Every structure is written in structure tokens, then in C-alpha cells.
Structure 1
Amino acid sequence: MNTIAFVPGAAGITIGSDPELQAPYRASFDGVLPDVRVNDGTVTVDFPRSFHVRDRRRAGEVMLKGTASWRIEVRGGTSRLTADLRALRVTALDLQGGAEQVTVQLPAPKGSVPLRIAGGASHVSFRCPPGVPVRLSLIGGGSGLTFGDQHLGAVGRSTTLTDPGWEHSTDRYDIQVTGGADTLAVGRW
């Protein structure tokens, strides 16, 4: 399993896959360049200390080797992240420090795959393959929540929504959002 970790956060990043890549990744960035290191299967994209996730002058594209399994981490918040992961094997997605304007298209899972957002979510969308069961646990309340065909207004401090068959499925997504959510959608592509 490979890991890609963005520290201290990620802004304006597009993540995709390329099955033709020989290296674990290919990346290009606008603005101040991060330090990119590879160590023991972990690709660390380390932005300078002056980095701020709301800075619109920075953008980048990261293509991951499509034949590998990936854990994706953002430590320090993310804004304007677009990830088309449908051609990857994703073992986990962990967004620490909050997420704003994030769109993630997910592949068919292998096993129970955790997707975590800590620090709140605003305008976040997860798109899963048809027929894949999902459980969403929201801690901290929320508004503008869409789960499949259900459009919910405000939801309580601790809310869990589960697709039928989730408990008995071995291949599924387990989404947890802590810190509240505003305009969060979990649907199908």
C-alpha cells in the first residue's frame, strides 16, 4: 500500500490516476512549490510554512499510479480539492483540519474503506459507484445534507445514516465527519 500525504494542508489540488505511470506519482504545481519526498511507499507533499489553504494563487495536479493501492491524507485542512479516484484502489481517505469545496469520486471499494473528515466540512461531495453501501456518521450537526435520494435540512449533533445492506457487506464505505457540516452530499456517479 502507498500513501500520499499533503502537509500542512492542500489547496486547489486535483488528484487523478494514470495506469501508465512507472513512478508512484507525477505532480505539477503553480505558485510556491512544495517539497515532495518519497520514503518507504509514502509520498509527502510538504508545502512551505507560508502556505494557507484559502490562498487561491496556488494550484496543483497529482497523478497517482493506477495499479497501486493508495491511502490519501491531508493534514492541516483542504480547500478546492477535486479527486477522481475511480481508477485507483483506495484504502483510506483522511482529511484533517477541515474540508471546504471538496469533490471526490470513489472507486468500487475492497473491504470496509474509511473516509474521514475532522474539523468540519463545507460544500463537500462524495460520489460512490452504484450499489456500494455507505454509512455516514456526522458528529457536530449539520445543514444541507444529502444522502442518496434523501435531502435533509438541519440534522442533530450526532447523526448516522446507513444504506440498506451495509452491515452485511464486506465491500463498503464508512464516512465519518466530525466538527459539523454545511452542504454535504453522498451520492452515486
Structure 2
Amino acid sequence: MLRRGRNRGVTQTVGTVRRMFERGTGGGIVGLLLLAALAGGCRAGEPRDAGRPGPGGDGHAWTDRGAGGEDRHTVAADRGDLRSADFVLVDGADVVRVRTADLGDDLYRVSTPAGAKVRPAVSVSDGTVTAGLAAAGGAGPALVEVALHDDVRWRVRLGGGAQEEVLDLRGGRIEEVELTAGTSRAEVTLPPAVGTVRLVMSGGASRLLVHLAGDAPVRVRAAGGAGRVSVDGVDRTGVAGGTVLTPNGWDTATDRYDVDAVAGVSDLVVDRT
């Protein structure tokens, strides 16, 4: 069964097949075969091919239209009945942007601009979305944009590193964020805490900005040391490795944040949105 409005490439193709029947062009059998192939290609949890494959023709990347009308390489998959999931980006990029949003029936969407030197290649297995990057033949920067369904509880891990990583997760349900590779600048906005919400930075950063969308207590550990640590407006400089800043009530709080800078960071700022 085809899903209306889920995929522009599919919608356009269905329209083309319908016109073939109406005009009597002799393409009826081909059209029936094409519709059958499309109907069988959108099973839950599988990356969707929304039309013409990206370079390499592996069926993972498809071309969609961005908000400005530009072509984009985008991969998406149906959510099914998932209530919690992991998202892992395994390859490095120039810029990585992650956000949560109401994606309807989609579990996630991963995209790169047309002309970028990379395109997304994604697999889903046992509730883990693993995203990699393949060569796309363009000369543009490796800008990766990720949208995650805001009604799924996520554990997010960025493992490839980037010059800049921006994660705006304030509207989602987040259990843990882990930045495992180095970055020049990382900015993470976390939603109101439900249980313990963890942010682990193990790859090192010049600057790590953490915005908390709630008033739950936050513990900050600078395991690798820091040039400056600012928590809720209180600045400390020359922070030694192993320093742990724990506010009163954190140990017994039901809802709380735990920020762990395992690797060294020049500037670590934790504030409230």
C-alpha cells in the first residue's frame, strides 16, 4: 500500500503511471510493475528510496527538495512502534546539526545538501540507527543535518568528529548524548530532565556550550581539566583534571543532568535556556 504524502518522488511517479493509463500509451504493464515495486519498498525501519538514487545507486540516498527548493540527499525510515532508539553517526563531517521534531511516521531524517562531497548511508537494526557518509562527487562542504522524532526516547552518539556540532534537542526525549570525537565547537541544548539526562564529551573540544531547558540540578565533571568552566553563571578558571562540581540535592534528585567532560576542553559553559 502506498502512503500518500510520505514521499514526493513516489507521488510524482504514481502520477506519471496514472497518466500512462489515461492516455493509453501502452505502458500499462510497465506501470503495474512499477507500482508494485514502489508499494513493496517502504517497510517500517528500512531507509526509503524516494526516487532517483544518489551517486553509487545503492538505494539508500534519494533526492528531495529542501525548504529553499534546492535538491538534497535525504534518507528516512518509518518509525513503526519504536518508543526508544539509538542514533549513531560514525563518520566525520565539517558541520553536524541534530534536532528533534514531529516527523509524523518517520523515525529520523538524515540529509546533506546537493553539491556536497558526501551523502548519507543509513541502516537500522534492533532500534539502532547507524548513519555513515559516502562520497557524493560534489565539491561542497560535508554538512550533515539530522532530524529525530520528538516522541522517541533517544541516545545520541556522534562518533566521527566535526569542526562544529550543534544539537538542539530541547523539544525531544533524551536519555544520553555522547560526543566521542574531537570538535572545535560543540553546542548542545537538552530538554527538561526526566530521570538522569547525561552528556558525555570524550573527544575533546575547544568550546563546549550546554544549554539546559529546565531547572533540574546539574553535576559537571571536568575529568580532563579545562581552561574555564562556567556553571549557572559561576565562573572558574584553570580547572584541574578530575574536578567535580556537584550542587546540593543532586544526589537525591529524581530528575537531573550529568555533564561529563572526559577529555580536555578549553571553555565549558553550562547555562539555562
Using the size of structure 1 for normalisation, the TM-score is 0.89
Poorly superposed stretches of 4+, deviation over 6 Å: none
Higher relative contact order (CA 8 A, sep 6+): 1
Match of 1:116 in 2: 200
Greater share of strand: 1
Task: Give, in angstroms, the shift of residue 10 of structure 1.
Answer: 4.5
Match of 1:147 among 210, 228, 231: 231
Letter in 2 for 1:13: V
SS class of match (1:57): coil
Structure 1 stretches lacking a partner, 5+ long? 50-55
CA-to-aligned-CA distance 1:31-68 (integer Å, 9 cap, x gap):
2113111222211111249xxxxxx8111221111111
1:79 maps to 2:160 = no
- Superposition map of 1:22-171 within 5 A: 22-30=105-113, 31=116, 32-48=118-134, 57-171=141-255
Residues 120 and 132 in structure 2, CA contact (< 8 A), matched pair in contact too: yes
- Provide closer, same or farther for how the CA distance between residues 11 and 40 of structure 1 changes in structure 2, counting only shifts above 3 A: farther
CA-to-aligned-CA distance 1:129-184 (integer Å, 9 cap, x gap):
24211101111211122111111111112111123321110111111112211111
Residues 93 and 142 in structure 2, CA contact (< 8 A), matched pair in contact too: no
Residues 209 and 270 in structure 2, CA contact (< 8 A), matched pair in contact too: yes
Measured in 2, the distance between the counterparts of 1:22 and 1:118 equals: 33
Measured in 2, the distance between the counterparts of 1:133 and 1:7 equals: 31
SS class of match (1:153): strand
Measured in 2, the distance between the counterparts of 1:125 and 1:163 equals: 19
Rg larger for: 2
Task: Give, in angstroms, the shift of residue 96 of structure 1.
Answer: 0.8
Measured in 1, the distance between the counterparts of 2:195 and 2:183 equals: 25
Root-mean-square deviation (CA, aligned residues, Å) is 2.0
- Provide closer, same or farther for how the CA distance between residues 10 and 162 of structure 1 changes in structure 2, counting only shifts above 3 A: farther
How many correspondences in the alignment? 185
Match of 1:173 in 2: 257
Structure 2 stretches lacking a partner, 5+ long? 1-83
Match of 1:8 in 2: 91
Residues 181 and 202 in structure 2, CA contact (< 8 A), matched pair in contact too: yes
